[in-house]
Amino acid sequence: MKITDASVYPYPYGDSSVRRMALEAKALGFDRLVAADTPSGEFYGIEIYSGILIRDTAVRDLICRIKRERNNEPVVSVQAGDNGFNRAVINLKGVHILRGLHSADKNAFDHVAAKMAADNRVAIDLDLSPLISGRGFTRQRAMHRYRDILVLERRFEFPITISSHARSILEMRAVREITGLCSLVGMDTADVEMALFGVDTITASPDPAVKVIR
């Protein structure tokens, strides 16, 4: 199990190279980063997973994109939309993470979608950037949504991931700081630890439905 930041955006999206982000992540207590549109690799002892974020796409185009990327084995994230879209996305094979629920509709993620996410092992991402850089209503809404997601998570036990969405090393936060920020939405240390290991849960090969015993 490796402590993972589920989404960072190195250069050219941000102002820091992937190596520099890896160096910073090591100092901040991480073992792995999921970096957008960056080849997988390892720098300074930090494992880099390639990640893609798909947004503003119809479900049909989404299926084509996932098929195209299947050989590269990236961590596939999809930006959340309305409830119907989210349910369709969660049912797709190859989708790992559903992101951006803090800015989606109020009813975008309900108990049915939560049950489906648990069954299909699709993680729900908690983006810390609105808690870090947001002020006033933006932060309050994000905190409210995250509390709601955590209520469903305790009931249905779908995977959770935590991401900083850092575009610069200055936006990255240490594991201890993340624990403090997550305490704002009612997560204790054990919950945060579990969420930081969330990428392991979704990328591990699933247990076979049938086990042959000789």
183 near other proteins (CB under 8 A): yes
User: By rule CB under 8 A, what string of x and - marks binding of each residue 92-131 to other proteins?
Assistant: ---------------------------------------x
d(Cα 149, Cα 151) in Å, to the nearest integer? 5
The single residue among 95, 124, 126, 169 that binds other proteins, judged by CB under 8 A, is 169
151 near other proteins (CB under 8 A): no
**Alpha-carbon dihedral angle through residues 100, 102, 106, 107, given to the nearest 10 degrees:** 40
State the sign of the Cα–Cα–Cα–Cα dihedral 174, 21, 199, 127.
positive
State the sign of the Cα–Cα–Cα–Cα dihedral 66, 49, 179, 2.
positive
Tell me the sheet residues that pair with 88.
none
Tokens standing for residue 136: 């006033």
The single residue among 47, 69, 110, 177 that binds other proteins, judged by CB under 8 A, is 177
Q: What is the CB neighbour count within 10 angstroms for residue 130?
A: 20
19 near other proteins (CB under 8 A): yes
17 near other proteins (CB under 8 A): yes
The single residue among 4, 7, 16, 161 that binds other proteins, judged by CB under 8 A, is 16
Q: Which is nearer to other proteins, 24 or 31 (CB)?
A: 24
The single residue among 55, 64, 111, 133 that binds other proteins, judged by CB under 8 A, is 133
137 near other proteins (CB under 8 A): no
d(Cα 196, Cα 4) in Å, to the nearest integer? 5
Please state the closest distance from residue 3 (CB atom) to other proteins, in A: 17
User: By rule CB under 8 A, what string of x and - marks binding of each residue 30-59 to other proteins?
Assistant: --------------x---------------
CA 141 to each of CA 45, 90, 103, 185: distance values in angstroms, whole numbers, following the listed order? 37, 23, 8, 11
